């Protein structure tokens, strides 16, 4: 199992790190025959500026601060594109979007959502994915999305949970 990244970091992302991530996203889209338009790139940039995690309406507020009136559909269309390119994941449990930090090769993330602090840890475990996929197939079902969300308690919050008992 590989732990890819954790969310809700208090550390700010540097301008050079953001520029690097945006260039990598541009190259990723180009390799897939897609275009990272200015608007899509800006939504990804705003998500990175927010530490890699934000609600769509927070991103709309950020766009509005830069450009004036911006429709929610503008933000959602950009997010849908970014999800289709596997650059962003939607975390249904929190109604939020997070930047994907994986290498995008056979990427089937397991998203651990901390019930205490709401941090999201992105894990890569192909064995779990294959087991769930097989179980669904035997039940006559299949994945609608390849992300699997699991609620739990993250490593930072576990000591606090034990102390509270």
Nearest C-alpha neighbor of 147 from the set 76, 72, 94, 86? 86
Edge-to-edge order in the sheet of strand 96-99: 53-54, 96-99, 88-91
Give the pLDDT confidence of 1-55 residue by residue, as tens digits.
555 544 554 446 789 999 999 999 999 999 999 999 999 999 999 999 999 999 9
Known binding positions: 107, 114, 117, 154, 157
pTM to 2 decimal places: 0.85
Which residues are part of a known binding site for Fe cation?
A: 107
Kindly state the greatest CA–CA separation across the chain: 53
8 A C-beta contact, residue 31 and residue 144: no
Binding residues for Zn(2+), by number, are 114, 117, 154, 157
Record the tokens describing residue 7, joined without a space: 């969310």
Query: Mind listing the domains of the chain with CATH numbers?
Result: 2-164 (1.10.10.10)
**pLDDT, tens digit (0-9, with 9 covering 90-100), for 74-102:** 999 999 999 999 999 999 999 999 999 87
């Amino acid at each position: 199992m590989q732990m890819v990244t954790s969310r809700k970091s208090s550390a700010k992302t540097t301008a050079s790190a953001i520029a690097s991530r945006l260039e990598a996203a541009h190259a990723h889209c180009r390799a897939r025959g897609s275009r990272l338009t200015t608007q899509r790139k800006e939504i990804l940039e705003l998500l990175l500026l927010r530490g890699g995690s934000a609600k769509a309406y927070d991103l709309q507020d950020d766009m509005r601060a830069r450009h004036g009136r911006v429709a929610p559909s503008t933000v959602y269309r950009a997010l849908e594109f970014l999800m289709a390119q596997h650059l962003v994941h939607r975390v249904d449990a929190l109604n939020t979007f997070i930047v994907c930090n994986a290498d995008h090769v056979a990427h089937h993330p397991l998203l651990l959502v901390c019930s205490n602090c709401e941090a999201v840890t992105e894990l890569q475990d192909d064995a779990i994915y294959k087991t769930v996929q097989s179980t669904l197939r035997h039940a006559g079902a299949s994945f609608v999305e390849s992300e699997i969300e699991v609620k739990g308690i993250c490593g930072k919050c576990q000591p606090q949970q034990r102390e509270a008992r």
